[in-house]
Amino acid sequence: MNPVVDYLRISTIDRCNFRCVYCMPEEADLDYVLTPEMMTREEIATLVREVFSPLGFSRFRLTGGEPLLRPDIVEIVADIAALPTTRDLAITTNAFFLEKKAAALYEAGLRRINISLDSLDPATFDRIINNRGRSRWQQTWNGILEAHRLGFDPLKINVVVIPGVNEAEVLDLAELTIARNWHVRFIEFMPIGNADLFGDRGWVPSEELRDRIRAKWGLEASQVTGAGPADIFRIPGAQGTLGFISQMSECFCDRCNRVRLSANGWLRPCLLNETGQIDLKTRLRAGDSLGELRRRVGELLALKPEINFKQRESGTSGMAYSQTMSQIGG
């Protein structure tokens, strides 16, 4: 049985102040969405309230690029949080601007947050985000601490594990969950727009990471709000949890309950498959009725079980992904 699709990831902006090597390759010639082509706050609110909520969507995540770059991000959070049909609202951020914006986001109704932090070592961190100036690690860490102080729960730390770069830090990152109610999630690198970035083995299998952690502390099955595709474990006695997102070694397409809305209004059924995508923003601006938009989205949802990441390996015709992770919204 296919899962009920009730989760919408909304990319609010395709720009980012970091240029992470796995997300935005250095050689990539990115064609950013111009501001007039980006969905406005009002358009996002209309689509969520009048199109997605009536179709049963109740879970929403705001992404980027870096969503905190958007000047009206607090207002967008407030719009969605205020809807009676919203059961869950979260945001994914690199935390660089979070120390200053966390309180306003919390007051607007945000309670869940995912933060990208691929290294506890400032030099490695700056290498991964491709930073050549003053280190950005401390300001990022300060943002995480502020979110913790304010009570965001669950507070999740997303780590893309890169062989030979941050792979040796897995135990140190896992240890963050012992004394704090933090939830560290290890993510296998996905080859989107940069498949050859790390050579033949660009990702580390989750089971290998679990074996390392299990050998030091042990592991037990656990759970956390908004686990999504992650398999959740806990170090015995730890306050937080460990999640493993294994899209390369342990495909989870059969559990997928989400679709994605890009910053310029394209609705896509799968992170790695653009088949069947709909340009909702253009249709909304052209005057299509909200009923017509709901009908089109409903048709796409009916097709979703056949449009997935598995087709990448089987070579199914029509499979396409032409953008980097930063442009898609992750």
- For residue 172, count other CB atoms closer than 10 A to its CB: 12
Residue 109: is the preceding peptide bond cis (ω within 30°)? no
Residues 284, 267 contacting (CB under 8 angstroms) = no
For the chain, list the domains and their CATH numbers: 7-328 (3.20.20.70)
- For residue 81, count other CB atoms closer than 10 A to its CB: 15
Strand partners, 204: none
Long-range Cβ pairs for the range 102-109 (8 Å, 24+): 102/143, 102/146, 102/147, 102/150, 102/152, 103/146, 103/150, 104/74, 105/73, 105/74, 105/77, 106/150, 106/151, 106/152, 108/74, 108/75, 108/77, 108/78, 108/81, 109/77, 109/78, 109/80, 109/81, 109/82
Q: What is the pLDDT along the chain (330 residues), one digit of tens a residue?
A: 678 999 999 999 999 999 888 787 665 556 677 788 999 999 999 999 999 999 999 999 999 999 999 999 999 999 999 999 999 999 999 999 999 999 999 999 999 999 999 999 999 999 999 998 899 999 999 999 999 999 999 999 999 998 889 999 999 999 999 999 999 999 987 765 554 555 555 689 999 999 999 999 999 999 998 878 899 999 999 999 999 998 878 877 777 899 999 999 999 998 777 778 999 999 999 999 999 999 999 999 998 877 655 554 433 334 444 555 555 555
Strand partners, 185: 158, 243
